[in-house]
Amino acid sequence: MNAWAGRGAVAFRAAYRSAFFEYLLDPGETALRVAYELGREAVTRQLSVLDLAVAHQEATLSAFAEGSFSPEDAKHVAEAAGDFFLESLATFEMVQRGLGEAREAALVERRQTEMSRQLSSFLADASLALDSSDSLEEMLRLVAEQARELVGADCCVATLTLDGLPRAVEAASYPEIDRRWTALIRWLDLSAVLRVVRLSGGSVRMDGGDLAQLPPFRSPASERPLRGWLAASLTTLNGGELGAIQLFNKHDGAFTEDDEAAAVHLAQMASAAVERARLYQQHSSSRSSEGRQSEPGPGSG
């Protein structure tokens, strides 16, 4: 324990003792409220539950040392001491748990922000403009992995529809030990999926009950029971369809609005990367065509 924490513990024990004695004199809700505040103060002073227990023990021993109690009075003091301590301890644990959850949420948010930043940098990489199927598949694989981790899903599949091919480029992320996702992905009717996403305004999330009623998910071919589905469309700059990102089965419950917003954001970044690749290809093809036309023919010159 550092010096600051040590001084804080001493001051806390003195405050606890004083409040406890007040409670013994007037064991009402007002004095018990002080025990609640002492629990909060212990967390603020960065004290441990052991510090709280020591403060209580010292206060209780002082109460018995400074007075002569009959067996019946001693019983009441002991009961009052238990009530006072439980009130402080309950508050201490509640505040500690709240702080822990807040810290965990902050860590998750920072990690998600960093992941999003890294993905954004990757998608802006000029090498993706080569428009090769390998580079696009690499991009989709990273998008699928990041989307699956960001929202905590069991499976994610990202698909591009290019040049009239419904599944020109596709990548998926799921646990390697569970190959049943492979069958589900192979079976999915992407055209039907895109139709549902389009009618939902570009993104959709559903739980297992509603999901079973959708045409794309009615077939018994899938061995994987679906608890939830989240999808966001990949679109061109003028609103044309490029494909979709789909996530299945959130780890701990149903997909949320925040999950949907994250999927839409990733879909927008992926769409922009694909569009840059297409524009680069068109520009390169145009320059190559102009170069061939400007070359001197045989016998010229």
- How far apart are the C-alpha atoms of 120 and 9, rounded to whole Å? 48
Q: Is residue 119 part of a domain?
A: no
Average pLDDT over residues 221-227: 65
User: Which residues constitute the domain of residue 94?
Assistant: 3-104
Q: Are 91 and 40 in contact (CB under 8 A)?
A: yes
Mean pLDDT of 27-34: 78
Please report the pLDDT score of residue 203 as a whole number. Answer: 94
Cα 15 from Cα 23, distance rounded (Å): 12
Question: In this predicted model, what pLDDT tens digit does every residue of 41-89 receive, in sequence order?
Answer: 888 788 888 888 888 888 888 888 876 667 777 888 888 888 888 888 8
Q: 156: buried, middle or exposed (CB in 10 Å: 19+, 13-18, 0-12)? A: buried
Q: Is the pLDDT of residue 131 over 50?
A: no
Same domain? 48 vs 184: no
Whether 111 is in a domain gets the answer: no
* Within a domain: 264: yes
Please state the length of the chain. Answer: 301
Q: What is the CATH classification number for the domain harbouring 130?
A: 3.30.450.40
Q: Is the pTM of this model over 0.75?
A: no
Interval 113-140 mean pLDDT: 60
260, pLDDT greater than 60? yes
Q: Give CA–CA dist 154/251, Å, rounded.
A: 7
Q: Are residues 165 and 225 in the same domain?
A: yes
